[in-house]
Chains A and B, each alone.
Chain A
Amino acid sequence: MTPSLHLWLLPLLPLAGFAVNGTLGRRLPKFAVSLVALLFPAAAFAQVLWIVAYVHSGLMLPHVERFATPWIAVSGFHANFSFLLDQLTLIMLLVVTGVGFVIHLYSVGYMATEDGYWRFFSYLNLFLFFMLTLVLAANFLLLFVGWEGVGLASYLLIGFYYQKDSAANAGKKAFIVNRIGDFGFLLVIFLLIAHFGTLSFSTVFESVAAHPELQGGFLTTICLLLVLGATGKSAQIPLYVWLPDAMEGPTPVSALIHAATMVTAGVYMVARTHVLFDRSPLALGVVAIIGAATAFFAATVGIVQTDIKRVLAYSTISQLGYMFLACGVAAYSMAIFHLVTHAFFKALLFLAAGSVIHALGGEQDMRAMGGLRKKLPITFWTMTAAVFAISGFFPFAGFFSKDAILAATFQSAHGGKLLWAVGLITAGLTSFYMFRLWYLTFFGEARTPAQPTHQTAHGSHGVHESPWVMLLPLVILGVLSVAGGWIGWPQALGGHDWIAHFLDPVFGSSALRAASLADMRLERILAGVSALTALIGWFVADLMYRRRPLLADKAERAAQPLYKLLWNKYWVDEIYADLIVWPLLVFSRNELGRGVDQGVIDGAGTAWTAGARGASSWIRRMQSGNIRSYAGWLAMGAAAVLVVVLYLAHLY
């Protein structure tokens, strides 16, 4: 008899927070709003810890809880409200509620002076509800609920400053681009119903497992459509375009949704459905290539951006590319490992950037920053931890996870070396752009105008360190960014590789890891190479942005076309707008609207009307505006029908 963990309660807790703040928040004092907004996620986090304790004391995983009444059911098909807890879910739950709560806490300080404080927190709680539904779902349809739901929360939060056109545009763009991915997801669901008659994870995966002869075929179709869905949510080529614009949302939103949790949903989904992907080498190859290409592509754009949040946005896209790469070489536990460490250091980077922006009264352009090291010491030191972590310096968290991915890629069968090389170069670029950000923000001369030139929501009272409620989250995440890699310290470097072992029941002990265990020397060499790459990135950034600042301008002028290409982000947005959006609108307006609808359809309607001219003049007479005459006409009509009927009946 397994105990009930009341998994259903977990998503409902933040939903309750949303309900309270969403309905009453407008009338509640700020203090009460914050209390509600913090309490419910805290309770969810506490419940997760309680579950962890249960698991630790020997609860059998996977653990499934199902609601008796189905959600949707017709003869022959039904979908339940059912929740699944396994090792993968548990890790996701810890990240979502843990990092989620910390960011909620930070937001209390960051959003303190904003209008619509209650609105912000109700959306944030709503997001947690959908995200928890997503990771707890035990079938594809419930997963889809969370999937679309987090998209909704993202839409609302990106467009939080809805009076700004750019914010409203960005929110809409995020939702629509994600819908393209959701289209793929929906087709997957239809295909699964067609082939398996169910959407339950366990039944689908067991059916696949029971038929080892199934390779490729429709499974490849399913996997490729899943990839389409994942590229939308996890901002990969070709659907990444919404994420940079999503930075229009308040910074805590960028940290929570667009770095730590929601954007990793695509990675989570691929890992969750690995049983399908394992049967389709083609789909895995596509995932790996998309991942590597996105990682590299986004890193190159990140090099030249000047808006601190945009650098981080491209960095997020790039890091998600690493996770995709890991999935593509079937190193799923490495993908999840990187997902976890990335949640720590990227959330920290955003929050620290938020602290900087807060201190500068809303300034986001790094060219107007500089010399903040002394003025914002805690922000500086925590951000430093994150910069070292993401750049892959030993023994920070990012080192282990990135290195694990690169090592797994190197040892994978098809084109592994090439993908590894791309990943390695990207690691160098990552280190470079992160230290560029670091130097531009915290070192050198203060380029901030003494008096901020424009009034913003954050007020304008000189550069100042943030309040403790914002600094505490920075410190917590800072510690995790430094030490978080411990959970995946590889055996080759004298660790125990805990996370991979922990996830083995979900992903199976992969052949790759067996190989890497056999060749620890190789892994040590690879680790050395990536560490060296990170150092080189740092060195170049140090040279260009600290020791010889003029070098950066010189490089920019020397490689003008390349710089322009990167500065304009390869003109991808413009290409999409001109090749897809604009033709679609013009076609709808001219061909369909003027041509078909007003031409053919209305033309036919006019002909119809003209053909019935007699009838129409009769009707015009009928339209006398006198209700009694209408009633008369009605009675006459009925009588006429009756007469005809009687007459016909008489005939037969």
Chain B
Amino acid sequence: MLNASILTWLTLLPALGAVVVLLLPRRGRAPQIFSLLLTLFLFVLALHLPAHFNYHQQQGFQYELNVPWISNPAIHYHVGVDGLSMWLVVLVSFLAPLGVLISWRAIEDRKSEFYALLLLQQTAMYGVFIALDLLVYYAFWELSIVPLALLIGMYGRKNGRRAAIQFFLYAFIPSALMLVGMLWLYAQTGTFDLVRLQQQLHGWSTGAHATGLWFTSLAFLLAFAVKVPVFPLHGWLRDGIGEAPTAVAMILAGKLGLYSLLRWHVALFPTEAAHVAPLMVALGAIGILYGAMLALVQTDLKRLAAYATLSAVSFVVLGIYAFTTASMDGAAYQILNESISASAFFMLLGILYERYGTYDMAQLGGIAAKLPRLAVLFVITTLALIGLPALNNFVGEFLILSGSFQTHARITAVATLGVIFAAAYMLWMVQRVFYGAPSEHVMALARPDVNWRERAAIWPTIVLMVAMGVASMYWMHAIDLTVPNMAPNTAATHTGIYVWVASTR
């Protein structure tokens, strides 16, 4: 019984919670406490998914629900998850309580609205990951843009409003184009259903609809690429992340767009995706190096994090469009890893900001001597982010790069230079903020080390960094079941010794 309705409950409850938060008394800690309890409950609920997932079912979706909603046009409330989206639903559920915890004292003004919007955003993200009907998907996709823009605008730093408008325009206009594409698809096929679309579009790439399909796929690609963001469409990212409050920065970039690329671009338009793949691989590689090199010269921690994010999501883009089993599995895994490590990083930056009131590295320095526990958490997170083996990001990056290397050796070799840059900008950052003698600014402010609430927010991510670095199979099982099937041609991508021997003979 729960199996059919669990996804709906997950999606519905945060939105209902958002209404409740607005009705709660505004004074005191009621909004926080309620949000925390609700998100924790949702997390426990979400754990039902991996626990009862059928790890042998290769095709189709699980926890599926498909009920006709509107008969004309034929919109179905069709939801379900596979090995990819299941973990993303769990990921969203995992990060939500952490976002509440880290905002606990950082947000005091218009608090109820903040938590309401955060919960609404959670609903939107669930919806994006579970929707299997194009129009349902689109509704959630649009819904995911609005709370984010409002959160940036209302709770941002100095230029929050400008960053919010920028983000909204960047995200909204391509989405409108995507809507046009969707309507064209519906006009041609009479369905919004993902599975039926996939069946019907088969062979269209060479038929009479080839041009229309091509433009539609481009509209989709553009909408997703902006949201990821893919270089050079990252114009909103620096200010977006720079201005966003911590809990928003944690969810701003990456997973929504990257997931959509896989589900609604690669898997829906395989032929068209294969055509743009060389471009996307190149943009991925450029993004890795470009983001890393710009991160190297930032003086503001949030901006450094923004460019580091660009570099990190570019790895995933590279992996998706290299179309090998390893690179795509790695890319899917890396969406989770990147999200977790980057969230930890943003939370730590938030903790730092709450104490010293600045993200400017020139003013910080020598904090390790003052706040040793914070320094330890920071260094561990840094190590995960630079891809130290036995921590999570390494597994994803390794699979992406080794997989991409099989089809794009030269580009991947160049992209691998990113691991050097990553070490350079992250360790330099750690040194400037934490090592050396304490700066004047730091000396002047006596601040406490991380407290229990902050530890409760950070430690789960650290535990996962280690677990996902050492025991990746737990997650990879379901991913490997699903993701490689999304590749345009399912020819064996791992050639191995046999092919090689044959070619030398």
Partner-B contacts on A (CB < 8 A): 69-77, 141, 144-145, 148-149, 152, 155, 159, 162-165, 168-169, 172, 175-176, 179-180, 182-183, 186-187, 189-191, 193-198, 203, 207, 211, 213-214, 584-585, 587-589, 592-593, 596-597, 600-602, 604-605, 608-609, 612, 615-616, 619-620, 623, 625, 627, 630, 633-634, 637-638, 641, 644-646, 648-649, 651-652
Contacts and interface: CB of A to CB of B under 8 A. Distances in A.
B416 A187 contact: yes
Interface stretch (B88-96, B216-224, B356-364, B488-496): B488-496
B297 A585 contact: yes
Contact of A196 (B435, B493, B496): B496
Interface of B: 22, 72-73, 75, 113, 116, 135, 138-139, 142-143, 146, 150, 153-154, 161, 164-166, 168-170, 172-173, 179, 183, 186-187, 190, 232, 234-236, 238, 290, 293-294, 296-297, 325-326, 329-330, 366, 368-369, 383, 388-390, 395, 398-399, 401-403, 405-406, 409, 412-413, 416-417, 419-420, 423-424, 427-428, 431, 434-437, 470-473, 476, 480, 484, 492-498, 500-501, 504
Contacts of B139: 638, 641
Given A69-B473, A152-B388, A183 B420 contact: yes
Given A187-B416, A194-B406, A645-B73, A145 B187 contact: no
**Top 4 A-B pairs, shortest CB-CB distance:** A197-B496, A605-B235, A76-B494, A649-B73
Nearest to A165: B436
Given A176-B427, A186-B401, A638-B139, A149 B500 contact: no
A585 B409 contact: no
Given A163-B436, A592-B290, A596-B290, 19 more contacts: A72-B399, A74-B326, A165-B436, A176-B424, A183-B420, A187-B416, A190-B405, A190-B409, A194-B500, A203-B497, A211-B504, A597-B238, A612-B169, A623-B150, A641-B179, A644-B179, A646-B72, A646-B73, A649-B72
Contacts of B170: 605, 608
B325 A175 contact: no
Contacts of B420: 176, 179-180, 183
A285 B368 CA distance: 47
Contacts of B472: 71-72
B501 A211 contact: yes
A593 B169 CA distance: 23
A197 B434 contact: no
A619 B168 contact: yes
25 contacts: A69-B471, A73-B476, A74-B325, A74-B480, A76-B494, A76-B496, A148-B388, A168-B435, A172-B427, A175-B427, A190-B412, A190-B413, A191-B405, A197-B498, A198-B497, A211-B501, A593-B294, A593-B297, A608-B169, A615-B169, A623-B161, A630-B150, A634-B143, A637-B142, A648-B183
A620 B428 CA distance: 40
B73 A609 contact: no
A645 B113 CA distance: 31
Contacts of A601: 232, 234-235
Given A172-B427, A194-B406, A605-B170, A73 B473 contact: yes
Contacts of B401: 186, 190
Given A194-B409, A652-B187, A605 B431 contact: no
B484 A75 contact: yes
A196 B165 contact: no
A609 B164 CA distance: 12
B231 to A, nearest CB: 9
A645 B192 CA distance: 11
A66 to B, nearest CB: 15
A interface secondary structure, majority: helix
A38 to B, nearest CB: 24
A144 B416 contact: no
B489 to A, nearest CB: 15
A198 B406 CA distance: 13
A553 B321 CA distance: 66
Given A162-B368, A593-B297, A75 B325 contact: yes
A198 B497 CA distance: 8
Nearest to A168: B435
Contact of A627 (B72, B113, B427): B113
B166 A605 contact: yes
A172 B436 CA distance: 12
Contact of B416 (A165, A186, A214): A186
A646 B135 CA distance: 12
Nearest to A651: B187
A546 B146 CA distance: 81
Contacts of A168: 431, 435-436
B87 to A, nearest CB: 15
A72 B398 contact: yes
Most chain-B CB neighbours within 10 Å: which of A70, A207, A211, A601? A601
A186 B293 contact: no
Nearest to A587: B293
